[in-house]
């Protein structure tokens, strides 16, 4: 399981429950996992005995809720313990590990620390080269334009032993000595070791670093700078930077757990955001080995929610970064596709281009509407016309026209739903289109497009009128109108959307009845499932509650002014975070264990949004 993550916009690192580095995404956040999900293994040798990382008792968390991972590893049988701090350089693409090795005995001891690397450059094990570089006293792995430099050293010496060869090198640590192969190619592994002499009841420090570059000379430049003084200085600077970065929030939390989860949520959203503006749904690579695909994509919907969470938290510069990415995504027709890779190219999809022998757009229309809604919310918050000029011209204007043209009998034409399962006209989609046209009209008016602004308002007004006639049943909203034109009466948590995107007020009788239905039929052990009889990742008799759906109801009650009720759902969600503070997509209704990816950026985004609504009432 992935239990903690770090990111700097070019490099994203995940650490597993054993405290090991397991995912290394570079040079795009979420694209090309240079480990293919294989952990960087650790071992310790002392007094003729070797101990391997999977034998250790481990605790992983964030250091004072900053973007620095703290790992405590206890080697009970050896009477040793390790305290490791992982952090990233915000300027250079280097991962640092500052390691304290504690001697729990009453005598001086010699201890050897090993790191064993199984990199797969370009996410492939074929055609790699690894060699020992005497110039930088490091092990370097490379293939084409992907270079990783490995260093392990103490305050007195650099890498003292190394081994580079094909195959598993774990066997080579059991005798406490690496054989010293200097180069290998193909499916290459490497191991490095450093010797420490530790006084009784004291500790010694070691430093493990991974540096990433697209070329050898640049990597060597980076590696020459890496020494223990530089790591120690970077540790202090990183700690202060993240403390200051998180200080934008002036909320006074009565519960320290809520504050910590709020900070970790902000960090999780930022860590999953690329320097070029994309934002992946999750960095959890475990799905790849099960389904041959993953959540490491940029869904425009997930991105819009993630960026909106940053907007309401005051991180407008990051929102601008995402808008620059989003402005380049629309098709020539003005719509956005299902999902994108972090570099902006089209990602894998299961939406067909033909249905019943007729061509269709393979889209979820809400994913075109939500970025427009986001841009409008961003503009309303800052009213800086310079920030929206390019996105408006390159994206908003054309996509607004698409939304207005893609109508039939007063409602959006059919597309796929936000759950990516059903085709039809969905209440969620209708609400997002309404919100997009309203916010788009504000931007159009600011840009001088009065005609477009008036047209958008007219279409949005008509859309609401038709929706309130055709998409309401028995006093509450329906999930969708299906392919046959029939009303789908299944209760779905996404029916919260008409209130959230401004189509109706929270106290509108139809909205209130809808939320009552959601709570009455979708509440499972305090959390909210997606919809009745949901089978996705289901393991038990009842469906799995989701974090996002539960927090939707919390947001509704916050906007209704019922803070105590909102806090019931927020507290439920906070209790479902794993020990380190990461929120999963969904949980087992009986054991509370995550049943899908961890973390899910959207879960953390909704937590941020919900907290902001509660705190600002």
Percent of the chain with pLDDT over 70: 100
Query: Averaged over 523-549, what is the pLDDT?
Result: 96
Query: Averaged over 495-521, what is the pLDDT?
Result: 98
Query: Averaged over 340-344, what is the pLDDT?
Result: 97
308 CB-near residues (< 8 Å, 6+ apart): 374, 377, 605, 609
41 CB-near residues (< 8 Å, 6+ apart): 20, 52, 53, 114, 115, 116, 118, 170
| Rounded-to-integer distance, Cα 428 and Cα 500, Å | 10
First CA to last CA across the chain, in angstroms?
A: 37
Is the pLDDT at 292 greater than 80? The verdict is no
Strand order in the sheet with 12-16: 2-7, 12-16, 21-28, 31-33
Query: Averaged over 411-438, what is the pLDDT?
Result: 98
Is the pLDDT at 361 greater than 90? The verdict is yes
- The single-letter DSSP state of residue 594 is B
Is the pLDDT at 157 greater than 90? The verdict is no
Structure tokens that stand for 561 in this block: 């002014």
Count H helices and E strands in the chain, helices first: 16, 31
pLDDT at 462: 98
| Rounded-to-integer distance, Cα 332 and Cα 326, Å | 14
Would you tell me the crossing angle of helices 300-313 and 256-271 to the nearest 10 degrees? Answer: 130
Asked if residues 54 and 39 have their Cβ atoms less than 8 Å apart, the reply is: no
| Rounded-to-integer distance, Cα 393 and Cα 396, Å | 6
pLDDT at 419: 98
Q: Please determine, looking at this structure, whether the domain spanning 2-221 carries the CATH number 3.90.1150.10.
A: no
* pLDDT classification of 583: cutoffs 50, 70, 90: very high
Residue 597's nearest CA partner among 543, 541, 537 is 537
Query: What are the beta bridge partners of residue 429?
Result: none
Beta strands in 466-541 (DSSP E): 472-473, 476-477, 480-481, 487-488, 523-524, 527-529
614 CB-near residues (< 8 Å, 6+ apart): 554, 558, 563, 566, 567, 570
* pLDDT classification of 289: cutoffs 50, 70, 90: confident
CB atoms within 10 A of CB 230: 15
Residue 399's nearest CA partner among 425, 426, 361 is 361
Is the pLDDT at 617 greater than 90? The verdict is no
Measure CA 169 to chain center: 32
Query: Averaged over 375-394, what is the pLDDT?
Result: 94
One-character DSSP codes across 178-194: -----EEEESEEEEEEE
H or E segment and range at residue 391:
helix 385-391
pLDDT at 167: 86
Q: Please state, in angstroms and as integers, the Cα–Cα distance from residue 323 to each residue in 25, 33, 380, 608, following that order.
A: 22, 25, 15, 20
| Rounded-to-integer distance, Cα 136 and Cα 213, Å | 15
pLDDT at 323: 96
**Could you tell me the pTM of the whole model?**
0.97
Percent of the chain with pLDDT over 90: 94
Lowest model confidence (mean pLDDT) among 141-145, 152-156, 265-269, 522-526: 152-156
| Rounded-to-integer distance, Cα 212 and Cα 138, Å | 13
Cis peptide before 97 (omega within 30 of 0): no
pLDDT in tens, 71-130: 999 999 999 999 999 999 999 999 999 999 999 999 999 999 999 999 999 999 999 999
Asked if residues 194 and 159 have their Cβ atoms less than 8 Å apart, the reply is: yes
Residue 75's nearest CA partner among 98, 46, 96 is 46
pLDDT at 254: 82
Cα within 13 Å of Cα(186), Cβ side: 5
Structure tokens that stand for 27 in this block: 């040079």
Is the pLDDT at 252 greater than 90? The verdict is no
pLDDT in tens, 301-330: 999 999 999 999 999 999 999 999 999 999
Query: What are the beta bridge partners of residue 279?
Result: 273
Mean pLDDT score across all residues of the chain: 96
Measured torsion, CA atoms of residues 133, 138, 139, 142, in degrees rounded to the nearest 10: -70
Query: Averaged over 156-167, what is the pLDDT?
Result: 88
- The single-letter DSSP state of residue 276 is T
One-character DSSP codes across 149-163: EEEEEESS-S--EEE
* pLDDT classification of 168: cutoffs 50, 70, 90: confident
* pLDDT classification of 52: cutoffs 50, 70, 90: very high
Q: Domain extents for the chain?
A: 2-221, 255-616
CATH of domain 255-616: 1.50.10.10
Structure tokens that stand for 330 in this block: 């629309």
CB atoms within 10 A of CB 170: 17
Burial 98-130 (b: 16+ CB within 10 A, else e): bbebbbbeeeebebbbbbbbbbbbbbebeebeb
pLDDT in tens, 117-150: 999 999 999 999 999 999 999 999 999 999 999 9
More confident site: 572 or 249: 572
Structure tokens that stand for 497 in this block: 């959307």
Is the pLDDT at 399 greater than 90? The verdict is yes
pLDDT at 171: 86
Considering only the C-alpha atoms of the chain, give the largest distance between any 2 of them, rounded to a whole number of Å: 84
Is the pLDDT at 451 greater than 90? The verdict is yes
């Amino acid at each position: 399981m992935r239990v903690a993550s770090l990111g700097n916009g070019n490099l994203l690192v995940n650490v597993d429950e054993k405290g090991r580095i397991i995912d290394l995404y570079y040079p795009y956040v979420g694209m090309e996992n240079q480990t293919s999900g294989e952990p960087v293994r650790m071992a310790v040798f002392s007094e003729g005995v070797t101990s391997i990382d999977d034998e250790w008792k481990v605790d992983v968390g964030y250091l004072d809720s900053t973007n620095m991972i703290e790992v405590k590893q206890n080697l009970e049988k050896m009477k040793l313990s390790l305290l490791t701090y992982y952090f990233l350089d915000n300027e250079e693409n280097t991962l640092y590990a500052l390691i304290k090795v504690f001697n729990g005995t009453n005598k001086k001891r010699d201890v050897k620390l090993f790191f064993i690397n199984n990199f797969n450059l370009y996410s492939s094990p074929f055609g790699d080269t690894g060699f020992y570089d005497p110039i930088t006293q490091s092990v370097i792995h490379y293939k084409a334009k992907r270079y990783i430099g490995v260093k392990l050293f103490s305050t007195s010496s650099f890498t003292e032993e190394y081994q580079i060869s094909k195959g598993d090198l774990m066997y080579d640590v059991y005798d406490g000595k690496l054989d010293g192969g200097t180069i290998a190619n193909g499916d290459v592994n490497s191991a490095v070791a450093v010797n420490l002499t530790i006084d009784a009841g004291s500790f010694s420090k070691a430093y493990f670093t991974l540096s990433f570059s697209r070329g050898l000379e640049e990597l060597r430049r980076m590696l020459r700078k890496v020494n223990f003084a530089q790591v120690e200085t970077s540790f202090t600077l990183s700690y202060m930077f993240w403390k200051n970065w998180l200080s934008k929030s002036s909320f006074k939390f009565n519960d320290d757990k809520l504050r910590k989860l709020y900070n970790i949520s902000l960090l999780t959203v930022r860590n999953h955001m690329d320097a070029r503006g994309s934002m992946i749904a999750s960095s959890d690579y475990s799905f790849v080995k099960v389904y041959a695909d993953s959540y490491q994509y940029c869904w425009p919907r997930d991105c819009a929610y993630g960026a909106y969470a940053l907007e309401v938290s005051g991180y407008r510069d990051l929102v601008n970064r995402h808008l620059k990415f989003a402005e380049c995504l629309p098709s020539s027709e003005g719509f956005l596709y299902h999902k994108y890779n972090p570099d902006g190219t089209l990602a894998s999809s299961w939406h067909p281009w033909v249905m019943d022998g007729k061509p269709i757009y393979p889209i979820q229309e809400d994913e075109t509407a939500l970025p427009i809604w986001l841009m409008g919310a961003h503009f309303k918050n800052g009213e800086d016309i310079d920030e929206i000029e390019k996105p408006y011209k390159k994206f908003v204007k054309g996509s607004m026209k698409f939304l207005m043209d893609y109508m039939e009998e007063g409602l959006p034409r059919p597309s796929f739903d936000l759950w990516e399962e059903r085709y039809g006209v969905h209440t969620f989609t209708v609400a997002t289109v309404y919100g997009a046209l309203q916010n788009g009209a504000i931007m159009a008016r600011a840009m001088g497009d009065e005609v477009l602004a008036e047209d958008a308002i007219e279409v949005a007004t008509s859309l609401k009128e038709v929706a309130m006639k055709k998409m309401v049943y028995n006093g509450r909203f329906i999930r969708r109108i299906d392919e046959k034109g029939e009303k789908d009466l299944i209760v779905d948590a996404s029916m919260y959307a008409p209130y959230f995107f401004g189509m109706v007020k929270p106290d509108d009788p139809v909205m209130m009845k809808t939320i009552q239905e959601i709570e009455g039929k979708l509440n499972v052990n305090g959390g909210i499932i997606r919809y009745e009889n949901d089978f996705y990742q289901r393991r038990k008799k009842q469906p799995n509650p989701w974090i996002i759906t539960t927090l939707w109801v919390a947001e509704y009650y916050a906007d209704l002014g019922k803070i105590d009720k909102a806090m019931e759902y927020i507290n439920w969600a906070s209790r479902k975070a794993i020990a380190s503070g990461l929120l999963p997509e969904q949980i087992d209704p009986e054991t509370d264990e995550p049943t899908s990816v961890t973390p899910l950026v959207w879960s953390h985004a909704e937590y941020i949004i919900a907290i902001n609504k509660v705190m600002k009432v």
